[in-house]
A and B are shown apart, each in its own frame.
Chain A
Amino acid sequence: MWISTDDVNLNRHARRLFGLLGVLVLLELSLPATGPEQETRSYEQLVDAYRDRDPTAAQRIARLSQTELAAAVESITSARPDDRSTVIDLCAASILHTDASLILVKEKKDSDAQFHLNTAIALMDAAIVRSPDHAAFARRWRIVVAGLLHAYGASAWAEGLESGAGGDPDARAEHARSIRAFERGLTSEIQGAMAGDVSGPSRPLAGRFPRAAQAPLLAAAREYEGVLAADPRFAEAALHLGRVRMILGHHDAAVTWLTHAAAGEKRGRVLYLATLFLGSIAERQGQHDDAERHYRAALTEYRWGQSAAFALVQLLSRLGREDEARSILTEHFQRTRGQVVEPLWTYLAQPGEQPGRSLNELRAEIWR
């Protein structure tokens, strides 16, 4: 068909009009969004950067406007579960604000520090609401951050954090009693560990199990059992009880409690250590397939440690699977490049005792 001159003229105008509209649309899309949406996106990008181990993220967020931050935080905490921010993002944002708060505490900028601490609390509470499985992670976070605040002289804030777990006063009191009992158990467990060490002041995990260690280890087991009777969800207590039973040679009980710990926490430090200890029990009993399965699970669960890698490599090497062993070790070194965060290093630390290292463990659990 022929197109008339009039049609051509009309089409030419239409093309110009549509072309102009197209340019305007493209311009609109390419321009940064303004207002709350942009702030939320910028905030999310900062959290993403933090999860990618950007060392500047905490300093950057500490310098941002509180008004903008509050709006962005409100946006992601009130988001629906199927929205962009995952529970891990909420936990990551909480720890990011924790780091900012600690920076500001050291700079004596109390008002700003308190803002970031309160924001961190709100984010962690939102994470628990969205996923109650993260309650244990949140509990650890409170203990660790309280330890750091005490160290920095912000004891009032630390006590507020320690007493603020959960909204119910009875629940908070019960929580405090559980923590005290856990600490007593850990003190006894450390005494048992020291009884195995004749070289002095370091805090090793006990090796061979001398008779002198038996009494404190049994005392530790009783305390942990008491904690778990009151709060069966206290995964860290189950982890320690499992290991103490393992050292005492009560392997069936050890497997029960370590399995309970792994099922309770389902992620992070407790799952990693419980799985690692289950692997070592299996290895001791000559159950190499089970040992390998546990070590691989630990390695998959927590990528920033090193003990699971060494445990697996040692087992494979001993079984004659040298190429595999070497490959796993090579991959471990390439991935970590010496930046290792190993939960075993704080296993015998009292709650709040090595807060710097413990906070680094929490960070590692939100790293990509």
Chain B
Amino acid sequence: MTSLRAAIVLAWLAASVGLAQTFRTGIAGVHVDVLVTEGDRRITDLTSENFELRDNGVLQVIQSVVPDEGPISMMLALDTSTSVDGATLVRLKQAVHAAVTALAPTDRVALLTFSSAVNLRSDWSAASQSTFEAIAGINAAGTTSLYDGLFSALTMRDALPGRRALLVLFSDGVDTSSWLPARAVLDRARRSDAVVYAVSLRQPRHESRLEYRSGVDLWSTAPKPGPQPFIVEIAQLTGGNAFITTRPDRLHEAFARVIEEFRSRLLLLYTPRGVDTRGWHEIDVRLKGRKGTVRARRGYIR
């Protein structure tokens, strides 16, 4: 089993090299990162027999299921608009500090904030004094360029290969000042292998779909936003989760849960059969013979 895992990891690494901007596919197959829960309990003792996976509606053979234990690259994308100022900002910094502290020595972190302006405060590195100083130096003022910020966070993915991409998004509101529309972000997320976890301080409302600050719709094939709030949609699209709280003192718990969940994910491997190789592939992963909820990204582009 150890040699099999090693072979799978090697295949996974080989597939990841040079494909930093695409979902993890390659000649070795498609890797689908999933989280299985039953209520609050995370389920990890699963095999390929416990899953049913369809690629564009075609049932696939799952070759392996292993814990997804690769080193993490965590991008923190934090809303620092005026409404975050005060007690919320204090709690946010504490929560982020703790989340960074919980990373392993082989993990890496980057910090990006968005209010009116989007600012990459700390580029990719192992957690260090400068990371914590960047967190401490955050202040809150301005409007909310959520879409610009999230698009930037997805684009500034860690260039080092063979790493699991986690994007933790914090926002307390809706977009009010981005140039890019929500559709551009959803399109970018489709072409990324990052799993987005969203932490929101209030119940995200269904904001108006302000597609484009110029007033012009984008190309017709871009994904159209669904009926749910954007931050919930982006999390679901990428196989992540959205944690919503109304209390700033619960932010610490929410960020901790993100890290715990991300460490509890499984990696499914399959080689697509009977489906076109190019374009968007819709993925549907279900449990078989076990109770629970599966979170997996909705698809990938090949």
Is B107 close to A, CB under 8 A? no
Is A204 close to B, CB under 8 A? yes
Residue ID in chain A nearest B147 by CB atoms: A310
Is A115 close to B, CB under 8 A? no
Contact B210 A197 (CB under 8 A): yes
Is B202 close to A, CB under 8 A? no
Interface of A is mostly: helix
Interfacial residues of chain A within 281-326, with CB under 8 A of chain B in the complex: 281, 283-284, 286, 306-307, 310-311, 313-314, 317-318, 322, 325-326
Is A208 close to B, CB under 8 A? yes
Residue ID in chain B nearest A278 by CB atoms: B214
Residue ID in chain B nearest A318 by CB atoms: B187
Contact B156 A326 (CB under 8 A): yes
Contact B179 A307 (CB under 8 A): yes
Contact B143 A207 (CB under 8 A): no
- Distance, CA A286 to CA B218, complexed state (A): 10
Per-position 1/0 for A337-353, Cβ under 8 A of B: 11110101100000000
- Distance, CA A333 to CA B156, complexed state (A): 11
Chain A residues within an 8 Å CB radius of B213: 204-205, 207, 307, 344
By CB atoms of chain A within 10 A, which of B119, B143, B215 has the most? B215
CB < 8 Å neighbour of A286 from B120, B152, B219: B219
CB < 8 Å neighbour of B215 from A206, A314, A337: A206
Residue ID in chain B nearest A204 by CB atoms: B210
Is A329 close to B, CB under 8 A? yes
Chain B residues within an 8 Å CB radius of A276: 214
Is B249 close to A, CB under 8 A? no
Contact A208 B209 (CB under 8 A): yes
Q: Do A283 and B179 contact each other (CB < 8 Å), given the known contacts A325-B155, A340-B116?
A: no
Chain A residues within an 8 Å CB radius of B181: 207
Chain B residues within an 8 Å CB radius of A307: 148, 179, 213
Residue ID in chain B nearest A251 by CB atoms: B216
Across the A-B interface, give the 6 residue pairs with the lowest CB-CB distance, nearest first.
Answer: A338-B119, A340-B117, A307-B179, A247-B215, A207-B211, A333-B120
| Closest beta carbon of chain A to B280's beta carbon, Å | 14
